Amino acid sequence: MPRRGTKVVRLAALGAAAGVVVAGIALPAVGGAGLGVTTVADKIDLKPADLVEPPLAEVTTMQDAKGKRIARFYEHYREVVGSGEIAEVMKTAIVAIEDYRFYEHGAIDLEATVRALAANLQAGGVQQGGSSITQQYVKQVLLNSAATKAEQEAALEATYGRKLIELRYAMGVEQKYTKDQILEKYLNIAYFGAGAYGVEAAAKRFFGVKADRLTLAQAATLAGAVQDPNATDPNRGRQHRERLQHRRDVVLNRMAELGKITAAEAEAAKATKLGYKGTKLPGGCESSKSPYFCLYVRHEILSNPDFGKTPEERLKMLNRGGLTIRTTLDPAMQAAAERAIRKYVHASDRAVASEALVQPGTGAIKAMAASRPYGTSKAGHEIALNVVADRAHGGGVGFQAGSTFKTFTLISALQKGMKLDDGLTAGAGYRAPGYATFKNCAGENIGDPGHTVTNDEGSPGWKTLRTGTWGSVNTFFMELQQRVGLCDTVTTAKSLGIRRADGGELQEYSTFTLGINEMDPVTVANAYAAIAARGTYCAPMAITRITDRNGDVTRYRPKCRQALDPEVADATAEVLSGVFTKGTMRGVGGIGRPAAGKTGTTDGYATAWFAGFTPDLAGAVSIGDLRGSQANKLTGVTIGGRYHGVVAGATVPGPIWKDTMIGALRGVPAASFTPVNTARFGGCSDGCRPAPEPTSEEEAGPETDPGSAEDTGPAE
């Protein structure tokens, strides 16, 4: 009979899953603790409960087009592995120290539980665990499933009520899985310290090996770490490592005591050094070798409803989903862009160069590079900004695109029926005749009769669509935009995906054709890629497929539409091809295969660009000062170790583009542009060059050539 004042707690039969039936065990009550046990025991029904096991948070891997890893994203650094991928000595070590009777008892080890419960009642609270590996697995599942801090605290709460709930779940787990399956699940969910979740991540983090390659000493170290991973975290200093080594030796002694290893093997393992390597955790874009492309993809996922209804859901999927994201990044093209930029611009330069490569016909982004590394270190000249992309993909406000926008006015002129030799007279300066000369797409008068546009390059005089473009004559394009209409030029640009880098509305002023809008290289390169694809515009694309943790694959296809008449695109390519031989890039030269492009220099040399394409690849290069391009212009500057009085489109961006394309297309057979339809665009129509007024000398002598020196204009 129990003594007076004691209360009896009878543990009912725990079911076949528990492996034992216990009845009539009398445990003394101590103060309120005993009342708590009686109350909970009276209310709870000790039957197996089904434990909801959400997928473990796993590492998401981003790959380039060849399948090589670019970056990893995770909330918890974990790599789930099967039982066959875990060394047997690791399984032996964890069972020896955590639950040596694991294969003999049911959901709980009754002997250990009763022993712990008695000690806890005497202490007036939960002081000893007595938990089996199954119970520990349940606890970790509940902890990992917690969505809030309050839920996490509840999962860790040291109360009898929680223990009994865990027991019911443990009974369900034992019914559902074999012992080997439970052990595998436990080793994948356990936290080992140093930011490593699961035995595979821990083996790599601690020792630089896979879990199936762990030695006896290494396995004992990891087995010892799970008891209190924060106290033995080897990444936190010498004392923590000493505690971890002590725990390792405890495990080795226990393994020898249980006959799992010999005493000699235990002593030999204890004689080895701890051997912690601290292998760097795989990081996100900050540690990627292609950080700007990585940032683009990350922002694409976080902003796209296809990947989750809310930003929180999308972030959770990225950091916990265990996805494999295959992208469009071409490693050879990326390397070519990086080499070319390093050749002409240093990371320590005030000016920052950036470049994007896009595949015509698909919109696939093949490379994104910049002259500065990504990060927050001022000493390392790093920038925490995706300078290659727009704000929606981690970028900033961008740089004014300059004369690269003249291409859109050229296209508009061709769309309206002008021929390649149609032209007009460009003056040394241009001033709008009146406010109504230019109307934006809202129909508002925005002409500015008080502002005179002058030429940074090229010479005044009679210019055709060809020669005006080759010389990049500002006054010619102001006259041309006046003729074709500002809104038509804006509409053409928009049809090719042109939008401001900051996400705002395009500024529709009379100087639109001169590139007053701030842009990013991805957007400009993609617009020019549409010309290369004979007018087929494809939205920028960075992801080709995503494989989920179950191996299910979702493929992503190009999203394309016909933006331009193919023959208009052909005629545009024909004109832009001459930029290399007769225009602003003739001093730099071509790339040894058919290519077309346009230099871009902004007013006062604030920024400089080059955008161009072949039938196979398009690219855009920008350079400017992130401190503010208007206040820090590219005049009297040293870039890449070379002094420049002024930096124009052909000074730095052009050579970068040229070297990049040569390297990126090495081994790719040269392709030709579709010949221009001369019946439609050849010669001139209403804009033919007027015949010069004859002089008395000309009337008396032979007919003279009207001259073409003014048609080409000087190079930049």
**Averaged pLDDT, 473-488:** 97
pLDDT at 134: 94
Residue 296 lies in a domain: no
Checking if the pLDDT of 578 tops 90, the result is: yes
Q: Which of 188, 230, 145 is nearest to 59 (CA)?
A: 188
Whole-angstrom distance, CA of residue 611 vs CA of residue 547: 35
CA 58 to each of CA 213, 305, 306, 312, 565: distance values in angstroms, whole numbers, following the listed order: 21, 21, 20, 17, 48
Domain coverage including residue 119:
15-56+71-270
| Dihedral of the alpha carbons of 248, 254, 260, 265, in degrees to the nearest 10 | 50
Is-contact 613 357, C-beta < 8 A? no
Whose structure tokens read 């209804």? Answer: 309
565: phi then psi, degrees, rounded to nearest 5:
-60, 125
Whole-angstrom distance, CA of residue 664 vs CA of residue 657: 10
Checking if the pLDDT of 598 tops 80, the result is: yes
Whole-angstrom distance, CA of residue 713 vs CA of residue 716: 9
Residue 698 lies in a domain: no
517 and 665 together in one domain: yes
563: phi then psi, degrees, rounded to nearest 5:
-95, -30
Q: Which of 229, 244, 234, 247 is nearest to 206 (CA)?
A: 234
CB atoms within 10 A of CB 56: 20
Checking if the pLDDT of 7 tops 70, the result is: no
Whole-angstrom distance, CA of residue 371 vs CA of residue 351: 9
In terms of pLDDT, which residue wins out, 22 or 385? 385
**Averaged pLDDT, 364-382:** 94
441 and 581 together in one domain: yes
Whole-angstrom distance, CA of residue 502 vs CA of residue 509: 17
Q: Residue 474: which H helix or E strand, with range?
A: helix 474-484
Whole-angstrom distance, CA of residue 622 vs CA of residue 399: 8
Checking if the pLDDT of 239 tops 50, the result is: yes
Residue 320 lies in a domain: no
Q: Which of 380, 463, 432 is nearest to 690 (CA)?
A: 463
Whose structure tokens read 């809030």? Answer: 148
pLDDT at 39: 41
**Averaged pLDDT, 56-79:** 92
pLDDT at 5: 37
Sign for the CA dihedral angle at 379, 380, 385, 388 comes to positive
Q: Going along 548-675, which residue ranges are E strands?
A: 553-555, 560-562, 596-601, 608-613, 618-625, 635-639, 642-646
How big is the chain by its Cα radius of gyration, in Å? 36
For the chain, percent of residues with pLDDT exceeding 90: 73
Residues 6+ apart with CB under 8 A from 618: 357, 358, 359, 360, 525, 526, 528, 529, 531, 532, 611, 612
Q: 614-629, pLDDT tens digit by residue? A: 999 999 999 999 999 8
Whole-angstrom distance, CA of residue 402 vs CA of residue 158: 67
Whole-angstrom distance, CA of residue 665 vs CA of residue 216: 51
Residue 439 lies in a domain: yes
Residue 62 lies in a domain: no
In terms of pLDDT, which residue wins out, 128 or 208? 208
Q: 262-309, pLDDT tens digit by residue? A: 999 999 999 999 999 998 887 889 889 999 999 999 999 998 887 888
179-189 vs 133-145: helix crossing angle, rounded to 10: 50
Is-contact 460 428, C-beta < 8 A? yes
Burial class (CB in 10 A: 0-12, 13-18, 19+), 693: exposed
pLDDT at 48: 87
Is-contact 141 186, C-beta < 8 A? no
pLDDT at 8: 30
Q: Residue 267: which H helix or E strand, with range?
A: helix 263-270
Domain end call among 227, 242, 270:
270
Is-contact 207 218, C-beta < 8 A? yes
Highest mean pLDDT among 121-125, 554-558, 601-605: 554-558
Whole-angstrom distance, CA of residue 126 vs CA of residue 519: 63
pLDDT at 15: 35
Is-contact 173 55, C-beta < 8 A? no
CB atoms within 10 A of CB 362: 21
Checking if the pLDDT of 102 tops 60, the result is: yes
Is-contact 199 86, C-beta < 8 A? yes
Is-contact 294 72, C-beta < 8 A? no
Domain end call among 270, 303, 336:
270
Ranking 507-516, 584-593, 626-635 by mean pLDDT, the lowest is 626-635
DSSP code at position 445:
B
What average pLDDT does the structure give for the chain?
87
Residue 521 lies in a domain: yes
Residue 658 lies in a domain: yes
191: phi then psi, degrees, rounded to nearest 5:
-100, 130
Domain end call among 270, 300, 332:
270
Burial class (CB in 10 A: 0-12, 13-18, 19+), 428: exposed
Checking if the pLDDT of 707 tops 80, the result is: no
364: phi then psi, degrees, rounded to nearest 5:
-65, 125
CA atoms within 13 A on the CB side of 523: 28
Phi-psi region at 674: left, alpha or beta (left = phi > 0; alpha = psi -120 to 50): beta
Checking if the pLDDT of 12 tops 60, the result is: no
**Averaged pLDDT, 475-485:** 97
In terms of pLDDT, which residue wins out, 335 or 152? 335
Checking if the pLDDT of 10 tops 50, the result is: no
Q: 378-428, pLDDT tens digit by residue? A: 889 999 899 999 999 999 999 999 999 999 999 999 999 999 999 999 999
Q: 108-140, pLDDT tens digit by residue? A: 665 666 555 555 555 554 433 458 999 999 999
User: SS3 letters for 522-573?
Assistant: HHHHHHHHHHHCCCEEECCECEEEEECCCCCEEECCCCEEECCCHHHHHHHH
CATH at 206: 1.10.3810.10
- State how many domains the chain has: 2
259 and 408 together in one domain: no
41 and 184 together in one domain: yes
**Averaged pLDDT, 676-691:** 90
**What SS3 state is found at 111?**
helix
Checking if the pLDDT of 377 tops 60, the result is: yes
**What SS3 state is found at 37?**
helix
pLDDT at 712: 34
Residues in the chain: 716
Q: 501-554, pLDDT tens digit by residue? A: 999 999 999 999 999 999 999 999 999 999 999 999 999 999 999 999 999 999
pLDDT at 702: 34
For the chain, percent of residues with pLDDT exceeding 70: 86
CATH at 576: 3.40.710.10
Residue 468 lies in a domain: yes
Checking if the pLDDT of 468 tops 70, the result is: yes
CA atoms within 13 A on the CB side of 260: 22
CA atoms within 13 A on the CB side of 503: 7
